[in-house]
Amino acid sequence: MTDYYRSSGDADSTQQPTVGSSEGFPGPAYPPPPAYGPPVPPVHHGHSDGHGDGDGIATAHTATVHRGGRAKAPVALLAAVAIAAAIIGGGTATLVGQNSGNGTSGGDTIVNGTTVSQISKGTVAGVAQAVSPTIVEITASSNSGQSTGSGVIITSGGEIITNNHVIAGASTVQARLSDGKTYNAQVVGTDADKDLALVKLDGASGLKTATLGNSDQVGVGDEVVAIGSPEGLTGTVTSGIISALNRDVTVAKDQDQGQGQGQQQPGGENWPFEFGGQQFNGDTGSSKTTYKALQTDASLNPGNSGGALIDMNGEIIGINSAMYAPSSSSVGGSSGAGSVGLGFAIPINTVKSDLAALRGGGTS
């Protein structure tokens, strides 16, 4: 039996194939291959036949070919095709995931909060539908009467952010949800310096929560929506734009000044504040604090305090806290004066940075 060998070396190798003979004739010989001999795959140079390496040069492999044996090159080819198919399949799966309706992959974190549907995103109606269930009406009662404000649900167990002046001095606090259900609430912590408070509903669970946005990304001219309970009108929606940033707003800290929004007693005044060296809506008193605020022309009225200022993606960017009512300023007039397009909101990033302190009881 005769064995044939092919060199796997460079193309210019001087080694020649040899044939062993039973007759003992030495030296090289080049007989034609027998009829049953397997063909040797050709080596191509300078171009690609579709199965070579990346530079267009097919790679030769060392192999001993036996009669009746199975060539190994097709197996390698099949493996390469399988790998290529797997790569193509993976790419297709990635595209499907990126273009699927939910817009998330298996590794993404699901945020528990409000969402605005794609078809309603950017519309006041879409924002109102998504966020209204997360806004509550707050009624705070004390020996001097009742005040009405608003609040934003931030956890499914009933944590609510509102203004300190809405609940300051209150002996009892209640919150009414958008579906009409009413809960008693406890004050967890307050921060009079930032005019913020955190209250917790008794026995609440499974509530829809608001998504807190990023107030540092807000710009003048951005469209916004305000939701609250002005004058006790639960779930009122107004809209406008951000008209200025970083306004220095001064508000009272005294508890006897605290319950001013939507007060339901004779002689009650709107929540007083100072801006530009002037006092509005009443005397701020001797104990006061100043914070940076977002200014908006979205209509805010007594009772909007503690409610949400929302961007067009449905994310909370501020907590409404003060409004300007000229007829109730130093020239006197009705305490029920409405908005004239000058309202202020505490940036939501201020709220987020204060949450840990509020959960621990606050600073004052």
Indicate which residues carry an active-site annotation. 165, 195, 305
Q: Which long-range contacts (CB under 8 A, 24 or more apart) does 266-274 make?
A: 267/335, 268/145, 268/147, 268/335, 269/328, 269/335, 270/302, 270/323, 270/325, 270/328, 270/335, 270/337, 271/165, 271/302, 271/305, 271/322, 271/323, 273/249, 273/322, 273/344, 274/249, 274/250
Please check whether residue 362 is in contact with residue 189, taking contact to mean a CB–CB distance below 8 angstroms: yes
Q: 232-255: b or e for each residue (b if 16 or more CB lie within 10 Å)?
A: bebbbbbbbebbeeebebbbbbeb
**Could you give the CA distance from residue 189 to residue 361 in angstroms, rounded to a whole number?**
4
* Nearest alpha carbon to residue 307 among 353, 256, 344: 344
Please check whether residue 224 is in contact with residue 317, taking contact to mean a CB–CB distance below 8 angstroms: yes
> 18: exposed, middle or buried (C-beta count within 10 Å: 0-12, 13-18, 19+)?
middle
Give SS3 for 148: strand
